[in-house]
Structure 1
Amino acid sequence: MTIRKSLLGLTAGAMALVGAAPAAMAGEFDGVTVNILTRPGYVIAGRLVERGVEFQEATGAKIVVTEVPYAEIFPKIQSDWSTGTNSIDVGVFAAGWGVELDAAGLLEDLDPYIAKDDKIDLDDVAPYFREFGQKVGGKTKLLMVDGDFQMVYYRKDVLDAAGAQPPKTWEDYLDVASKIHGKDMNGDGEGDFGSCIFKKRNAQSYFAIQTFAAPIVQTQGTGQGFHFNNATMKPIVNNDGWKKAFELYKETGKYGPPEELNLDIGDTRALFKAGRCGLLVEWGDPGPLQLDDDATAIKGKLYAISGLGSREVLDRATGKLVPVSKSNAPHSIDGINYAPFAAFGGWAGAVNKGADQKTKDAAYAFLSYMNQSA
């Protein structure tokens, strides 16, 4: 998908990926196969497959998409490219992983390809994704296919019926969840859930806890970060700020599905599409997913908040929590500090530097096609 400057493009980062006329000429890549490795599921792999069929018809290149579990993507790509096996031509993975792969000299520099490409418009990619998702060391080493950051979704009809307002902080989130938990939200006569969060171990749950911690620990903007002391690179996790984030995260379990600790992202999506979630922590996918045939229970009822905040923030000098003020949190609004978490920044495609040149040309042309506006 092209990540646009408009609010729609930012809040629907995981909408169906789109393509346009390829930069390549018809028949230019006859006989070339591009092997792509990525995560399973329709949102990413499925759209690559669909656009791959179109790309093959237009250019002759055969696009083969292999799906592996999320936890296996990085090690498989790293091993394949670093050992020179080169059975993978393109990796579509979390954009932030590109830094480590590039440090090992494994990523093709895409700037020379972009310079000759009159189809792609990088100004059409929102600055955050263009500068932080696609570039490593000032060079374009990846092309975005799906821009992401985590948000909180809520069922407006459910909150209205309970006389509740959309949350502004994580404490508000818990308060709203407690008021709506157990209500029948889809008309099937059964009680549903105040909160739905994917918490399965060894999956993607570690992103959710960071969404809770960010507004408590990061107060000075994106340059500050919230994992390490920038000057010493010592972790800043053992403090009251992160402690509070874990406590808030744990408490959401009181209002979630009983099996929540074993739910991955696909499981919580199935629940919200069935109308069983009053509040949901997610990426951009729920917006377009509510239009699916199996999501009629929530169509037109789902609203989103870009990020929740905190009325207390970490004093890094003492490790204690202090009330928000303009002096300690200059970007705060009405006494609340906000720090929306990009949660790896979305999915991007990188070309294997070790592939042969014709394959690299076809691989770049396909990623360009995925990135172009419709």
Structure 2
Amino acid sequence: MKVSLYNQFMRAGATRRDVLKGAASMAAIAAASGAGLGALTRPASAASELRAQILQIPGVGKGQPTDADFQQVGELCLEATKANVKEGEFAGVELSFMGLNNQNLHNVLFRGFLKPWEAYTGAKINWIDLAQADYNPRLQQAIATNTIDFDIVEMGAPFEGDVCGKGLTSEMPDWVKKQIDMDDLVAYLKPPVGTWDGKQYRVTVDGDAHNFNYRTDVFADAGLAEA
């Protein structure tokens, strides 16, 4: 958000929570787009209905989705935002989102998912697109030179120490945890993942599980002990 806008909100009596409310809602929708699109606070039957609607959109064994399909998914996931934010409430607010654009994923998807969010809230998202190889140098340079030019960052867990350790992040409000239903995440993505000094700082967009598989008989024949 531009500093002038932030100061204007403060003079008008808004709290930091009010100002960040739109950003956190956006992050929650971004998370829902990648880590369980039905991860919203709604009855189980309604959540099942939402998943069923999303599964009718191209992309799950139904061909290559288009930007219009991404926007349709984003529109379907707006219910929680509409419950917390009035239409047009954040007109004039600008947020910068730094993330990846490789493999036609990440920011490419988020743009479509979040167009309905922008249209509803009135906020504008400025995108900082980075290739995988450029991400770490760009992030570290911004931290080292104190030239943070982004409000929201798509970031892997290995960088949490660099960012959270320097106090560059805002703690996730409790209402966001309820909105995205943290309990709906698989166990290995729940806290302490995404926390720093016991506080939750991020919404999970994506998660990978890495396995190391080996044949015990081969290890035994080679005279190697099992780890």
The equivalent of 1:104 in structure 2 is 166
1:89 corresponds to which of 151, 154, 165: 151
What are the equivalent positions in structure 2 for 1:148-187 lying under 5 Å apart? 148-150=208-210
Q: For the residues of structure 2 that align with 1:132 and 1:75, how far apart are their CA atoms?
A: 26
Q: Which residue of 1 aligns with 2:26?
A: none
How much does 1:34 deviate?
1.1
Contact 1:52 1:62 in 2 (8 A): no
> Residue 32 of structure 1 corresponds to which residue in structure 2?
93
Pairing 1:2–2:2 present = no
Q: How does 1:192-207 map to 2 (within 5 A)?
A: none
- The answer for unaligned runs of 5 or more in structure 1 is 6-14, 151-210, 216-307, 315-319, 329-374
Is the contact between residue 98 and residue 142 of structure 1 (CA under 8 Å) also seen in structure 2? no
Q: Would you say how many aligned residue pairs link Structure 1 and Structure 2?
A: 154
User: Under a length normalisation based on structure 2, what TM-score does the superposition of the two structures give?
Assistant: 0.57
Q: Percent identity?
A: 21
Amino acid in structure 1 at the alignment position of 2:224: V
1:66 and 2:128 correspond: yes
- Once the two structures are superposed, residues 190-223 of structure 1 have per-residue CA deviations (whole angstroms, 9 ceiling, x without a partner) of xxxxxxxxxxxxxxxxxxxxx6xxx3xxxxxxxx
Output the amino acid matched with 2:35: T
Deviation, structure 1 residue 132: 4.6
Q: Which amino acid in 2 is paired with 1:54?
A: P
8 Å Cα contact 1:33/1:61 also seen in 2: yes
Aligned pairs for 1:305-324 within 5 A: 308-311=213-216, 322-324=224-226
Inter-partner Cα distance in structure 2 for 1:71 and 1:132: 28
Corresponding residue for residue 281 of structure 1: none
State whether residues 95 and 126 of structure 2, in contact with CA within 8 Å, keep that contact through their aligned partners in structure 1.
yes
Inter-CA distance 61–310: structure 2 relative to 1 (3 Å threshold): farther
Contact kept, 8 Å, 1:28 with 1:60, in 2: the verdict is: yes
The residue aligned with 1:46 is 108
1:300-326: CA deviation from partner (whole Å, max 9, x where unpaired): xxxxxxxx3342669xxxxx96254xx
Partner Cα separation in structure 1 for residue 138 and residue 85 of structure 2 = 29
Output aligned runs, 1:1-374, within 5 Å: 1-3=34-36, 19=74, 20-21=77-78, 22=81, 23-41=84-102, 42-110=104-172, 113-115=173-175, 118-150=178-210, 215=212, 308-311=213-216, 322-324=224-226
Name whichever structure is richer in strand by fraction: 1
Q: Deviations over 1:128-160 (max 9, x none)?
A: 11225422232111211112234xxxxxxxxxx
Higher radius of gyration, 1 or 2:
1
Structure 1 residues 49 and 116: CA distance shift in structure 2, 3 A: closer
Task: Supply the distance in 2 between the matched residues of 1:119 and 1:50 (Cα, whole angstroms).
Answer: 21
Deviation at 1:82, TM superposition (A): 4.7
133 and 72 in structure 1: CA distance in 2 versus 1, 3 angstrom threshold: farther
Gaps of 5+ in 2: 1-33, 40-59
Query: 1:321/1:63 Cα in 2 relative to 1: closer, same or farther (>3 Å)?
Result: farther
- Higher helix content, 1 or 2: 2
Post-superposition offset of 1:44: 1.0
The root-mean-square deviation of aligned C-alpha atoms, in Å, is 3.2
C-alpha distance 313-33 of structure 1, shift in aligned 2 (>3 A): farther
User: Deviation digits for residues 85-140 of structure 1, max 9, x if unmatched?
Assistant: 23111110222321232112222221xx2346652211111121122542223211
From the superposition, tell whether residues 114 and 72 of structure 1 become closer, same or farther in structure 2 (CA, over 3 Å).
Answer: farther
* Contact kept in structure 1, 2:192 and 2:198, CA below 8 Å: no
CA contact under 8 A between 1:82 and 1:106: conserved in structure 2?
Answer: no
1:128 counterpart SS class: helix
Distance in 2 between residues matched to 1:43 and 1:55, nearest whole Å:
19
Q: Residues 126, 116 of structure 1: CA spacing in aligned structure 2 closer, same or farther, 3 A cutoff?
A: closer
Question: Structure 2 vs 1, CA of residues 125 and 321 (structure 1 numbering), >3 Å: closer, same or farther?
Answer: farther
